[in-house]
Structure 1
């Protein structure tokens, strides 16, 4: 019998206990112990949430793997006590949620919905947007979530180009990589979506210089990581008129402090980190499937590359 330990803040246990037990049973692991406390030597797997307080994984001598409950692993990937495989969360619920949020906000900006809502003053004034095929959209980050969003936007007939740090090929998407590829995508993107992982290389990627490479009046949409953007540079670009708007779902400090200038800025839309929320039912199935693979001696899915950081 395996023992799986859920390391997360207390509020998560009521939401995850039943879905995890059901998923483990469906995966043929109905006799597995699912606990929030256990003797270290009894623990086979750890389901890890970045908001948990565990720091030292070396105390678990029989640990086989750590399965991250969320998509981002930046809070744990550099932990030197973690020597067993670390997996990141990839599941249908995360992907679907991100695609819905991204396409919704790209369409919102493309169609000028904010301006239409603001102009409900009795004045009949038309402003017809271009068709999607005439709107250039860029997606930075072509991993699981970025690729899915790029395909969805292309499916709506947007002119989509994507960038990743290593070469990628996605049908219907103009894929770029490297420094010159990044410049090419920035220069054409009337709407830019950020879906890169957070690493040393991507921290503050969107600084003043790169924001200045976007077309005049471009829109920035960030459901990726708050640290991808230099906040002060973004405010300057908005105030100076270089950018028309920024829709932000993630921030350097979360929850976003009430006094932060993003809240009151007329060209910033804040959403409270909801673009791709981990949903207990689908996340539990992904975790149980990976534990079942490990118990059958099969390679785990979505193992993190420690050198790359994701």
Structure 2
């Protein structure tokens, strides 16, 4: 048995760096980067972020794909991944905290009138403007799983009124939790900020279409740190032109990297960040190694995904 590390994209860990970190946690295990893959018939587990086309066919004895992150939509739907291959994901605390902090940063950017102060500075104008009170501000969180729940609690602890929305009922102390498709438009209409942290599933793809965007509070800010296919980007541009919502912060896009000719780059109501809201894996490296050991021993895996549901 061997674990093959193939990160799948640039500007993050290299295969060699990630394999070295995993090997440091478990020197006795056979962990290989793609640059030194050896006999691919020995590979039973693959650790990756983006599953490359054609790779599953090269691994005849593959049993498990370990996603180096939370979202598994592109892996479970990969056309060449055999149905018997299991999929696991990570639920690390460090990137969850980072995503919650990312959302908070843009909420505070609005609360503290940062854009207006920057504009005043460019005019050399001393223009005091009262910050908005958190107790008078409603923050909505779409998705109340590991990351969304952490985000909702962070906003709650900073005295914002927090509404949460999920597919099925959830309970979080101090958060007004709502669920089901019928509850979403009303929730959106109450929020000054909406933090979207939903997985990509058939039920969430293009969920934020023209009708749902029109349900938002005029002037509200939509922050997407989940999956890019949540939002109909053409409808978003049109909605922003009407002021409902008033602004969008997009850390993810339907196509990444965002194409150079996308209108979102230059739209005055859009802030683009290059999928950086959650970066570090932290202690989750231990879960990768632990799943390798469990696979070898035939034990239940950590954070296994239901491939039919997609999460």
Query: Structure 2 length as normaliser, TM-score?
Result: 0.90
Structure-2 separation of matches of 1:51 and 1:261: 28
d(CA) in 2 for partners of 1:85, 1:253: 26
**Where do 1:29-44 residues align within 5 Å?**
30-35=27-32, 36=34, 37-44=37-44
- Specify the SS of the correspondent of 1:161: strand
Assess if the C-alpha contact under 8 Å between 2:73 and 2:200 holds in 1: yes
Measure the CA separation in 2 of the matches of 1:165 and 1:38: 44
Q: Say if 2:294 and 2:300, in contact at 8 Å, map to a contact too.
A: yes
C-alpha distance in 1 between matches for 2:83 and 2:4: 15
Aligned residues: 302
Give the corresponding residue for 1:206.
208
CA distance in structure 1 between the aligned counterparts of 2:85 and 2:124, rounded to whole angstroms: 64
Q: Distance in 2 between matches of 1:266 and 1:227?
A: 21
Higher relative contact order, chain-length normalized (CA < 8 Å, sep 6+): 1
Q: Is the 8 A contact 1:19 1:280 kept in 2?
A: no
Cα drift, residue 267 of structure 1: 1.2
Are 2:140 and 2:163, in contact at CA under 8 Å, matched by a contact in 1?
A: yes
- In 1, are the aligned partners of 2:93 and 2:282 still within 8 Å (CA)? no
Instruction: Decide whether the 8 Å contact of 1:141 with 1:196 is kept in 2.
Output: yes
Q: Which residue in the other structure is 2:76 paired with?
A: 77
> How far 1:58 sits from its partner (Å)?
8.9
Q: CA deviation at 1:57?
A: 5.7
Query: What are the equivalent positions in structure 2 for 1:9-48 lying under 5 Å apart?
Result: 9=8, 12-23=14-25, 25=26, 30-35=27-32, 36=34, 37-48=37-48
Residues 4-27 of structure 1: CA deviation (Å, up to 9, x unaligned): 11233486213212211112x2xx
Q: What does residue 96 of structure 2 align with? A: 95
Please point out which of 146, 163, 169 is paired with 2:148: 146
198 and 6 in structure 1: CA distance in 2 versus 1, 3 angstrom threshold: same
Change in 2 beyond 3 A, CA 1:207/1:180: same
**For the structure 1 residues 250 and 57, does the alpha-carbon distance in structure 2 shift closer, same or farther, using more than 3 Å as the test?**
same
Matched, 1:107 2:104: no
Give the structure 2 partner of residue 226 of structure 1. Answer: 228
1:65 aligns to what? Answer: 64
